[in-house]
């Protein structure tokens, strides 16, 4: 096979990644499925080759010219669509999170194993230059054996990203420890080389939600002119202070990973700035990043080791071109290399499951008083 023919499920939002496949000579986007007919019309125009479009999943999966599927629809549909695509004999690229329950992930993994096809999870942060530098530093042995890790995630656009639509409901996203956290938890796993074994978490809804009607939209609200959420993001779907909002906007989770690694994850959605910071401490030093500044710092213990030259070094990392710091075009290429050439991707399907499992366990803990919750073993 020299060229992969793809169908896209969920053609707007993250479905915009399809353009990277369409611009690649080793791929062609031949079909799209979405519940929104306007989005499908726009998709056809953007692709330039008038792909087949439909609002019916089976109509897309029954096509012989669709060899692989990209799932970019809302989180709560990932399980259904990924399983259906695998059972239809298609290779699958599934945007993170793999599913919104651990059981849903295990069901996808069982379908993947039974299908004989390839499955990739959209962990694009593994492909970002700044985090690749951190991984290379850790794998070089410069900081010794990782023993402590944490992530602080200041989600400065939390209202816009998560509280004006389906993300704000448990049945849509489960928890933002899972949805937003799936990237961060995967990065903690990837950087340390260890999966989470048990967690405890605390969290609450401290800013968003409230007493506004569930059907209230910003242009209809008499408070719009004085509302900071409207002033910054004037085209909200729904009011972020509506009654149905229920997923926590302020939460902290502690984790015990394999190899005795202790980790913590802090996530807040009403901070005024956007910043994501990872710190990994090993037996011989630490590595830390500042995402907005695109810097990585390496500090090492004064010792006799040959890699002492790395001590107290600062790396200024230049992002590549393309979405998510240049990661989107690289991960779409990696999917093609996986399917067409048999290359192993940076993130395995099991990695997708384990980040979801950690997030689900955290949500369970914080909603049951903060007790310790064990990560369930793989069930496939």
279 belongs to a structural domain: yes
- 148 and 55, same structural domain? no
- Of 21-25, 64-68, 219-223, the least confident: 219-223
Predicted pLDDT at 230:
83
Cα 313 → chain centroid: 29
- 271 and 259, same structural domain? yes
- SS3 of residue 353 by DSSP: helix
Strand order in the sheet with 275-282: 313-316, 295-300, 285-290, 275-282, 146-154, 262-268, 250-257, 196-204, 373-374
Q: From residue 295, how far is each of 38, 134, 156, 187 by CA, in Å?
A: 41, 10, 19, 17
- 115 and 130, same structural domain? no
- SS3 of residue 154 by DSSP: strand
Mean pLDDT score, 313-318: 80
Helices (H), 141-290: 158-162, 170-173, 181-192, 228-232
**Residue 235 predicted with pLDDT over 90:** no
* Other Cβ atoms within 10 Å of 25 Cβ, number: 8
- 323 and 201, same structural domain? yes
- 104 and 176, same structural domain? no
**Residue 311 predicted with pLDDT over 70:** no
91 belongs to a structural domain: yes
Give the residue carrying structure tokens 């989770």.
253
Query: 179 and 165 in contact (C-beta within 8 Å)?
Result: no
DSSP 319: P
Mean pLDDT score, 362-366: 98
> CATH code at 277?
3.30.360.10
380 belongs to a structural domain: no
- 333 and 250, same structural domain? no
CA 348/CA 338 separation, integer angstroms: 11
Mean pLDDT score, 180-206: 97
Predicted pLDDT at 305:
53
Beta-sheet strands, E only, within the chain: 4-9, 27-33, 52-54, 68-71, 91-95, 119-122, 146-154, 196-204, 250-257, 262-268, 275-282, 285-290, 295-300, 313-316, 373-374
Predicted pLDDT at 221:
84
CA 94/CA 35 separation, integer angstroms: 18
Predicted pLDDT at 185:
97
**Reported confidence tier of residue 71, pLDDT bands at 50, 70, 90:** very high
Which has more confidence, 123 or 325?
123
Give the residue carrying structure tokens 């999917």.
335
Percent of the chain with pLDDT over 90: 79
- Of 82-96, 184-198, 285-299, 305-319, the least confident: 305-319
Whether the CA torsion 275, 368, 190, 303 is positive or negative: it is positive
Mean pLDDT score, 42-52: 91
**Reported confidence tier of residue 324, pLDDT bands at 50, 70, 90:** low
Per the structure, the count of domains in the chain is: 2
- 241 and 309, same structural domain? yes
Tokens of 172: 């849509």
Mean pLDDT score, 293-302: 88
Of 353, 363, 375, 374, nearest to 106 by C-alpha is 353
- 251 and 225, same structural domain? yes
- Of 117-121, 147-151, 309-313, 374-378, the least confident: 309-313
- SS3 of residue 37 by DSSP: helix
34 belongs to a structural domain: yes
151 belongs to a structural domain: yes
358 belongs to a structural domain: yes
- 109 and 154, same structural domain? no
Domain range for 64 is: 4-125+328-345
CA 349/CA 347 separation, integer angstroms: 7
**Reported confidence tier of residue 297, pLDDT bands at 50, 70, 90:** very high
CA 216/CA 76 separation, integer angstroms: 23
Predicted pLDDT at 122:
95
How do residues 151-183 score in pLDDT, each as one tens digit?
999 998 889 999 999 999 999 999 999 999 999
CA 218/CA 238 separation, integer angstroms: 7
**Residue 319 predicted with pLDDT over 80:** no
Q: Write out the H or E segment, with its range, that includes residue 339.
A: helix 323-341
How do residues 253-281 score in pLDDT, each as one tens digit?
999 999 999 999 999 999 999 999 999 99
- SS3 of residue 110 by DSSP: helix
Predicted pLDDT at 1:
72
Predicted pLDDT at 327:
84
Work out the mean pLDDT of the chain and round it to a whole number.
92
**Residue 192 predicted with pLDDT over 80:** yes
Predicted pLDDT at 246:
97
Q: 217 — phi, psi (to 5°)?
A: -115, 155
> CATH code at 18?
3.40.50.720
pTM for the full predicted model: 0.93
**Residue 121 predicted with pLDDT over 80:** yes
Query: 109 and 380 in contact (C-beta within 8 Å)?
Result: yes
CA 362/CA 227 separation, integer angstroms: 32
Predicted pLDDT at 205:
97
156 belongs to a structural domain: yes
- 233 and 141, same structural domain? yes
- 190 and 98, same structural domain? no
Q: How many CA atoms lie within 13 A of 259 on its CB side?
A: 14
Predicted pLDDT at 322:
65
- 87 and 213, same structural domain? no
379 belongs to a structural domain: no
């Amino acid at each position: 096979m020299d060229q992969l023919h793809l169908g896209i499920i969920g053609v707007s939002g993250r479905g915009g990644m399809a353009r990277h496949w369409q611009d690649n000579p080793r791929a062609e986007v031949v079909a799209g499925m979405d519940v929104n007919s306007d989005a499908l019309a726009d998709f056809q125009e953007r692709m330039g080759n008038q792909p087949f479009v439909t609002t019916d999943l089976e109509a897309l999966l029954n096509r012989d010219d669709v060899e692989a599927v990209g799932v970019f629809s809302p989180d709560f549909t990932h399980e259904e669509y990924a399983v259906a695509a695998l059972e239809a004999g298609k290779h699958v690229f599934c945007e993170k999170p793999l599913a919104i329950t651990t059981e849903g992930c295990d069901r996808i993994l069982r379908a993947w194993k039974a299908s004989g096809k390839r499955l990739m999870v959209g962990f694009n942060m593994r492909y970002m230059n700044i985090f690749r530098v951190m991984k290379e530093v850790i794998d070089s042995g410069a900081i010794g054996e990782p023993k402590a890790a944490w992530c602080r995630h200041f989600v400065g656009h939390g209202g816009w990203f998560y509280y004006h639509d389906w993300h704000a409901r448990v049945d849509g996203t489960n928890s933002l420890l899972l949805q937003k956290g799936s990237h961060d938890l995967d990065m903690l796993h990837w950087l340390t080389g260890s999966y989470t074994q048990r967690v405890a978490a605390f969290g609450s809804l401290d800013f968003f939600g409230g007493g506004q009607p569930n059907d209230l939209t910003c242009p209809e609200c008499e408070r719009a002119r004085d509302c900071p959420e409207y002033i910054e993001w004037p085209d909200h779907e729904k009011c972020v202070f509506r009654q149905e909002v229920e997923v926590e906007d302020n939460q902290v989770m502690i984790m015990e990973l394999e190899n005795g690694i202790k980790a913590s994850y802090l996530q807040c959605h009403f901070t005024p700035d956007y910043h994501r910071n990872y710190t990994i401490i090993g037996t011989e030093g630490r590595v830390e990043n500042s995402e907005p500044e695109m810097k990585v710092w390496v500090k090492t213990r004064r010792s006799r080791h040959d890699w002492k030259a790395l001590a107290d070094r600062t790396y200024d990392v230049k992002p590549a071109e393309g979405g998510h710091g240049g990661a989107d075009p690289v991960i779409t290429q990696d999917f093609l290399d996986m399917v067409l050439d048999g290359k192993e991707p940076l993130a395995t399907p099991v990695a997708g499951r384990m980040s979801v499992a950690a997030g689900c366990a955290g949500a369970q803990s914080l909603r049951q008083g903060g007790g310790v919750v064990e990560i369930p073993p793989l069930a496939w």
